[in-house]
């Protein structure tokens, strides 16, 4: 007689331990099915075989062995069920699916190229001690023109092609009215960048838009000179466009600065040799600037005998075209995810 018959309870314990180990390491539905048949099968199952001997045992042995055999059967059944559930979770998740199908593209948000440019401009000036100031797009005629020393009937008023809102209000045509707001709120020394949207009754074309951004900057202190203006703006251009970038200043006119100068950078597309983007000049204008006109200081109550200052206004939409080689300003307004998607990695 085998030892299984000698001590059926010990034999069942060994059988159960063996079954548990084999179920745990079984892989796949078929392997589990085979183990179920081997241990619990109706005809030749090894636990079933023990149960079949019960009628031939005396009542006390029948009770003890019967208990052990039923426990073993229940334990193995439960383990088989758990193993099968784990198998279904593992394999069933992909059942009926085509695992070679390409993943569906997930759209991620991107920061608009103009916003990237604005933030970069402000960040460069922040390193030089400039804080950031914003103000309303609906402005007073006084802040937008009069306080900035535009004489009434001045041709520049026509140049700005203003959207008037009535009752002395308008959509600001530039960010320069923010200079007035800052100088009427804070005492010098002042160093501030002022980004914002501006509005002019222009038609859309490749380089113009009726709604566009500007970043204004203003520095007011004792002893500020035109040298500071040139140095700060040249430094900025090299930081923004690259170390080797050449810049030049050309005399200009604004009612609120005297003297005034436009800054041009070497064309980023042809690097000075001339191309359609720079109208074959090799240069591109990116900002207007100048020394704050003493009349403006008087209008805001700052003593022009004591203080001097410089200001500029630059166009981030245009700079985004240069920076990213975008051929048409209208692309920056189309909200086409195919453009924005190219800036995801810049975030
Ligand atoms: N506001 C002027 C414009 O829109 C730019 C400018 C700003 C010029 C500050 C000088 C100083 O063209």
Q: Which residue has the higher pLDDT, 16 or 262?
A: 262
Element containing residue 143 per DSSP (H, E): helix 141-144
Task: Determine if ligand 1 sits within 6 Å of the CB of residue 176.
Answer: yes
pLDDT band at 139 (very low <50, low <70, confident <90, very high): very high
Q: What is the mean pLDDT of the chain?
A: 89
Average of per-residue pLDDT across 286-310 = 97
Task: Determine if ligand 1 sits within 6 Å of the CB of residue 150.
Answer: no
Task: Determine if ligand 1 sits within 6 Å of the CB of residue 257.
Answer: yes
State yes or no: pLDDT of 89 exceeds 90: no
State yes or no: pLDDT of 226 exceeds 70: yes
State yes or no: pLDDT of 321 exceeds 70: yes
Q: How far is the CA of 214 from the centre of ligand 1 (A)?
A: 9
Alpha carbon nearest to ligand 1 atom 9, residue: 312
Are the C-beta atoms of residues 274 and 281 closer than 8 Å to each other?
yes
All structural domains of the chain with their residue ranges: 3-90, 113-343
Query: According to the per-residue pLDDT averaged within each range, which of 90-99, 150-159, 275-284 is highest?
Result: 275-284
Q: How far is the CA of 313 from the centre of ligand 1 (A)?
A: 4
CA nearest 144: which of 179, 113, 109? 179
State yes or no: pLDDT of 233 exceeds 80: yes
Task: Determine if ligand 1 sits within 6 Å of the CB of residue 312.
Answer: yes
State yes or no: pLDDT of 328 exceeds 90: no
Beta carbons within 10 angstroms of residue 204's beta carbon? 13
Q: Lowest-pLDDT range, 74-78, 109-113, 178-182, 286-290?
A: 109-113
User: Which residues does 140 contact at the CB level (< 8 Å), separation at least 6?
Assistant: 168, 169, 170, 177
Q: How far is the CA of 279 from the centre of ligand 1 (A)?
A: 22
Task: Determine if ligand 1 sits within 6 Å of the CB of residue 289.
Answer: yes
Tokens encoding 261: 């100068």
Query: According to the per-residue pLDDT averaged within each range, which of 19-33, 82-96, 168-182, 309-323 is highest?
Result: 168-182
* For the chain, percent of residues with pLDDT exceeding 90: 54
Please give the radius of gyration of the chain, using alpha carbons only, rounded to the nearest integer: 40
Task: Determine if ligand 1 sits within 6 Å of the CB of residue 283.
Answer: no
Q: How far is the CA of 274 from the centre of ligand 1 (A)?
A: 26
Alpha carbon nearest to ligand 1 atom 7, residue: 313
The pLDDT value recorded for residue 307 is 98
Task: Determine if ligand 1 sits within 6 Å of the CB of residue 213.
Answer: no
Task: Determine if ligand 1 sits within 6 Å of the CB of residue 313.
Answer: yes
Distance CA 160, CA 173 (A): 6
Strands 131-132 and 190-199, by their bridges, are parallel
Q: How far is the CA of 173 from the centre of ligand 1 (A)?
A: 10
User: Which residues does 309 contact at the CB level (< 8 Å), separation at least 6?
Assistant: 188, 190, 218, 219, 220, 221, 224, 291, 292, 297
State the DSSP string of 261-289.
EEEEEE-TTTTTS--GGGTTSSEEEEEEE
pLDDT band at 260 (very low <50, low <70, confident <90, very high): very high
State yes or no: pLDDT of 345 exceeds 70: no
Average of per-residue pLDDT across 116-123 = 96
User: May I ask the CATH architecture of the domain 113-343?
Assistant: 2-Layer Sandwich (3.30)
Ligand 1 mutation target, pool 174, 255, 315, most atoms within 8 A of CB: 174
Task: Determine if ligand 1 sits within 6 Å of the CB of residue 177.
Answer: no
Distance CA 225, CA 248 (A): 18
* For the chain, percent of residues with pLDDT exceeding 70: 95
Ligand 1 mutation target, pool 226, 251, 254, 317, most atoms within 8 A of CB: 254
Backbone angles phi, psi at 291, to 5 degrees: -85, 135
Distance CA 280, CA 295 (A): 38
Task: Determine if ligand 1 sits within 6 Å of the CB of residue 188.
Answer: no
State yes or no: pLDDT of 106 exceeds 80: no
């Amino acid at each position: 007689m085998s030892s299984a018959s000698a001590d059926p309870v010990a034999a069942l314990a060994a059988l159960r331990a063996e079954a548990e180990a084999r179920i745990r390491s079984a892989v796949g539905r078929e392997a589990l099915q085979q183990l179920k048949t081997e241990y619990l099968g109706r005809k030749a199952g090894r636990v079933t075989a023990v149960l079949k001997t019960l009628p031939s045992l005396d009542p006390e042995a029948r009770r003890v062995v019967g208990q052990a055999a039923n426990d073993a059967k229940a334990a193995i059944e439960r383990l088989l069920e758990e193993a099968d559930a784990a198998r279904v979770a593992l394999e069933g998740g992909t059942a009926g699916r085509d695992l070679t199908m390409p993943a569906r593209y997930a759209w991620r948000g991107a920061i608009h190229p103009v916003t990237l440019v604005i933030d970069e401009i402000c960040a460069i000036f922040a390193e030089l001690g400039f804080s950031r100031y914003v103000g309303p797009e609906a402005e007073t005629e006084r802040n937008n023109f009069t306080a900035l020393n535009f004489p009434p009937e001045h041709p520049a008023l026509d140049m700005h092609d203003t959207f008037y809102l009535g009752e002395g209000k308008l959509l600001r045509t530039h960010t320069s009215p923010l200079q007035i707001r800052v100088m009427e709120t804070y005492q010098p020394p002042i160093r501030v960048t002022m980004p914002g949207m501006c509005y002019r009754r222009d038609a859309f074309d490749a380089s113009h838009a009726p709604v566009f951004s500007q970043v204004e900057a203003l520095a007011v202190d004792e002893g500020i000179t035109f040298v500071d203006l040139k140095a700060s703006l040249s430094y900025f251009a090299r930081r923004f466009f690259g170390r080797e970038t050449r810049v030049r200043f050309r005399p200009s006119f604004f009612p609120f600065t005297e003297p005034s100068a436009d800054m041009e950078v070497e064309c980023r597309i042809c690097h000075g040799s001339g191309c359609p983007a720079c109208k074959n000049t090799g240069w591109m204008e990116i900002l207007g600037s100048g020394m704050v006109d003493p009349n403006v200081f008087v209008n805001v109550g700052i003593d022009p005998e004591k203080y001097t200052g410089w200001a500029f206004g630059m166009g981030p939409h245009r700079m985004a075209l240069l920076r990213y080689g975008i051929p048409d300003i209208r692309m920056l307004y189309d909200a086409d995810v195919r453009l924005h998607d190219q800036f995801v990695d810049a975030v």
